[in-house]
A and B are shown apart, each in its own frame.
Chain A
Amino acid sequence: MSIVLPSLSGEKSETFTAVSKFSAPVRRPVEPLGRYFLAHASRTLRGHTWSEFEKLEAEKNVKQIEENEDDDLGDEQQSEELLAHDPREWKSADLYAVLGLSHLRWKATEDQIRRAHRKQVLQHHPDKKSASGGLDQDGFFKIIQKAFDVMLDTTKRQQYDSVDTNADVKPPALKSSYDFFEAWGPVFASEARFSKKQPVPLLGSSDAPKDEVDNFYSFWGKFDSWKTFEFKDEDVPDDTANRDHKRYIERKNISNRKKLKQEDNKRLIDLVERAFSEDPRIKQFKEAAKKEKERKKWERDSGSREAAEAAAAKKAAEEEAAKKAAEEAANAKANSKKAKEAAKAAKKKNKRSIRGSVKDVDYFGDAAKADVIEADVDALIERFDDVQLSTYAAKVKDANADAVKTAFTEAVAELSGAGKIDTAILKYFV
């Protein structure tokens, strides 16, 4: 059955009308074989003398089939430190850098990983190195193989990507000045990779409509991340002799994972809250909503417009005042928050210097007991209140061994005097 053409509707004076151009072609090499290629060749060549220019043009912009574009994939040079990384500690190496993929990271496809891995094997295989007279070192090669194992196993790769903070885009520094969209857009684009639900709404631009922005914040408010923290596990010893120890490590790992996961969720919530509070669109929408409400009211009360205007003026003034108050409150809050943070930092510092003091005086010449001493010091620190912390921190600062010891003995006395410590748990300062 042959194709029937549509009938002409209305009068048309033109017999031909050009409407639009057809899509740009792509230049590709055809395969120079077979009868029809030969016909193509003779058609192209027949009666034609091609100018040098045309010939050169024909060599340009040809679609490459074999990927020379990323022929340099995996050619990244590894740093000396990385090459010398202890293979037993392979987990702490930057595994993407190991494969020469630090520019791609989680974006690297399986194919790219395979190709980059091949490159690394070619370069670092121990056989290769010894055959070409190089050093017979296979430490880095072991790390390459570990990295490859991780990257090709979907589960393991997810675990690694979960903790690969090198790939994160950091939020803008708090007190710097920045364009909201330029600074935050990439942060969300980067976090989006962890969402179980894809696609993920992105920040968008300043002219995004309200429902899009709302959708964005409601999605991110309920962000469900697939991050997991197995990669940070302590290795579980596989000697069956010490089963209790094994179980202990396992339990510790599980609780550590939970903790890290909670921390990470919190981090993201904070991030979204901060962005929300800084988002100029949210402010705009609030204002617009307010205006709309006013307009409606104004319309309703159009009979007593004057009164309404007066009220509006009053309201504006009130709002101004409220805004100011809010700002002040926010400032005060920020200040107190800052103060709190400062106090927290000071506390941390004090703890650190108390803890460090015993090491600085070489554990009173009793380095063999370092563990016991440190345990005691930790026990003490735990029981210090803020005042005590700073007092004792001052006492042990730059002090000699005797002074430090005295300080700690004093501390023990003070704490036990106050009933805050049971000296029985102490092993050294008794």
Chain B
Amino acid sequence: MSAVIGITFGNTSSSIAVATQDGKVDVIANPDGDRAIPSALSYVGSDEYHGVQAEHQLVRNAKNTIINFRDFIGKSFDEAETAAPYHVGAPAVKTADGKIAYDIVRDGNNELITVDEISKRHFKQLKDAAEDYIGKEIEGVVLTVPTDFNEHQRQQLTSIATDAGLKVLQLINEPSAALLAHLSADEDRLLQDKIYVVADFGGVRSDAAVISVRGGVLTILATAHEYGLGGDKLDEALAEYFAKEFEKKTKVNPRTNARSIAKLKAESIVVKKTLSNVQTSTCSIESLAEGLDFHTSINRLRYELAARQPLSEMTSFVEKAVAKAGLDNLDIDEVLLVGGASHTPKLASNIQFIFPETTTVVAPALDPKALNPTELVARGAALQASLIESFDEDEIKESLQPIVVNTQHLTKPIGIKDAEGNFQSILVAETAYPIKRSIQVTNGESASVVVELYEGKRTIKETVVEAEPVSDEDSEDDYSDDEPEVKKELVYEAGSKLAELTLKDLKPNSKLEVTVNITQNGTLHLSGRELKQGSVAVKGEITSA
């Protein structure tokens, strides 16, 4: 096993993964046995608790328990949303130099822990867990960041990890890492030209990226972020539901004291996760308020009803990202659901509902073979770590230069017209230069044919689907409203003509090959030839506007 790993550090949870020899990836469990390790630290007496054990302290020892600090990295107190509605755990305070810290009591003494310091301690814990698992010292790590982490935050994160004893090989974007993991799970996927939405529903924020994959190269077309929207909102909805139930039964309001609230919240998280897997769950909280216990059960439907608002916000959030890319839902080939909250079955089905049937939504609730959404990002990071393991620092740096990364992308698809006049795409829009693609064609019965190169024009074809005739027996309960269903389809037609090339003196049904090659400097070379020994290719070139 290699000694380079991938780490994803979230506000709510963190994961560590490592690639194995055979190209598979192991997600590493910490000593508590967790693969989704809560990003939480808590101080009790002179001890430091981490992960789940720290999270448990939110009920008894909230003031000395620090959570949700990742997004504060590299931010000043005034810039950050410290007054966020999710006021749980130790409150953030402003330090003398304007940074963010937590004021806690450790061993009877007050201690001011900065965000950098708490993050460093968190990284140390993760590093220990990884070393424990692999059995050797970690040599390098690829870290993931949200796409809206600015340059300063990226530098700060790198230096914190370095202080914790981790050598940072590269920082990569979370959605791209998740997508890489998904694409690498099946060799064919990486080379299919598709447009993806990677929708990441975490605990306290939601992020989405529209990513085109062209020849295995990923390009982000648009991103969207929504702070405050995430799994926590689902917990809140559930907690509120339970609070109402409890109140109805006992006439006691459990929302008036911090400990009752914390208990409700903790149990709601458990119930929520259970309901991702099964249809009903029990809920039991000892001494919820005024010494009264609370026992009830809830089914999935009821939960989905209670959490309807945040669930529908999450759904429309995905559409927003598509719109920001200037695309239509029809343009999206796949939606990859990432993040813990993506386990929620209703979220997956809601999202599938707003996309056409041609769009695949990848989520465990819809496809049992889908990778665990909580682990996708870390898996991608581990894959990248093992890919660049053998490079030295300078080589990596060289590859990250703007001259390599910032590349021209085609804005319209390019292809040819077939004998029926249909547009046959060779290169799709958003393909990065340089690129070379060939397709095989034939001349049919003609002795001479013409290769007409066109730009594709995107059109949406609407066809009215005739409602199925309702048979007599079930017409009573199978009431269909008369709205005819309109099926929309994305079709590319030949737009403006770019070039033309003729191939003559062919035998019927010869095998021909058309190649389009766009070089780094933007020249498009078109060539056509017969696929046989000694044939001479016909060639020509054009440039872009």
Binding site for B on A (CB under 8 A): 2-8, 12, 14-45, 50, 54-55, 58-59, 62, 65-66, 111, 114, 118, 121-123, 125, 127-128, 131-132
Contact = CB atoms under 8 A, between A and B. Distances in A.
A122 B172 CA distance: 28
Nearest to B414: A22
Contact of A21 (B81, B211, B402, B545): B545
A-B CB proximity, top 3 nearest: A36-B216, A16-B540, A7-B446
B442 A58 contact: no
A29 B406 contact: yes
Interface stretch (B25-33, B56-64, B113-121, B498-506): B498-506
30 contacts: A2-B511, A3-B418, A5-B441, A5-B512, A6-B417, A6-B449, A6-B450, A6-B452, A7-B448, A15-B501, A15-B538, A16-B539, A21-B544, A23-B412, A23-B544, A25-B433, A27-B408, A28-B220, A28-B407, A29-B219, A34-B216, A34-B387, A38-B388, A40-B404, A40-B407, A42-B399, A55-B403, A65-B147, A65-B220, A65-B223
A127 B81 CA distance: 11
B444 A5 contact: yes
B439 interface: yes
A14 B78 CA distance: 69
B401 interface: yes
Contacts of B183: 34
A247 B27 CA distance: 67
Nearest to A123: B78
Interface string B25-47: 00000000000000000000000
Contacts of A8: 446, 448-450, 502, 504
A14 B540 CA distance: 11
B190 A34 contact: yes
A62 B220 CA distance: 12
A3 B94 CA distance: 67
Interface in B300-351: 320
B289 interface: no
A33 B180 contact: yes
A34 B218 contact: yes
B252 interface: no
A41 B218 contact: no
Contacts of B520: 44
Interface in B468-506: 496-504
B402 A58 contact: yes
B498 to A, nearest CB: 5
A45 B399 contact: yes
B464 interface: no
Given A7-B448, A8-B504, A16-B539, 11 more contacts: A12-B450, A16-B538, A22-B543, A22-B544, A22-B545, A23-B410, A24-B544, A25-B411, A26-B409, A34-B218, A45-B399
Given A25-B410, A27-B408, A34-B180, A6 B498 contact: no
Given A62-B406, A66-B223, A121 B83 contact: yes
A25 B409 contact: yes
A33 B380 contact: yes
Interface string B282-294: 0000000000000
B227 interface: yes
Nearest to B422: A3
B522 interface: yes
Contacts of A42: 399
Instruction: Say which size band chain B's interface belongs to.
Output: 35 or more
A45 B398 contact: yes
B416 A5 contact: yes
B400 interface: yes
Main secondary structure of the interface of A (DSSP, over half): mixed
Given A33-B218, A38-B387, A131-B93, A17 B512 contact: no
B402 A59 contact: yes
Interface string B229-264: 000000000000000000000000000000000000
B222 interface: yes
Given A54-B403, A128-B83, A22 B524 contact: yes
Nearest to A131: B94
A40 B432 contact: yes
B42 to A, nearest CB: 23
Nearest to B150: A66
B518 to A, nearest CB: 9
A66 B512 CA distance: 44
B372 to A, nearest CB: 20
Contacts of B441: 2-5
Contacts of B211: 31
Interface in B163-179: 170, 172-173, 176-177
A2 B513 CA distance: 11
A59 B407 CA distance: 10
A41 B498 CA distance: 29
A201 B224 CA distance: 34
Contacts of B404: 32, 40-41, 44-45
Contacts of B184: 34
A65 to B, nearest CB: 5
Interface string B177-221: 100100110000010000000000000000000010001111111
Interface in B65-108: 77-83, 93-94
Nearest to A133: B94
A29 B223 CA distance: 14
Contact of B545 (A3, A24, A31): A24
Contacts of B420: 4
B130 to A, nearest CB: 20
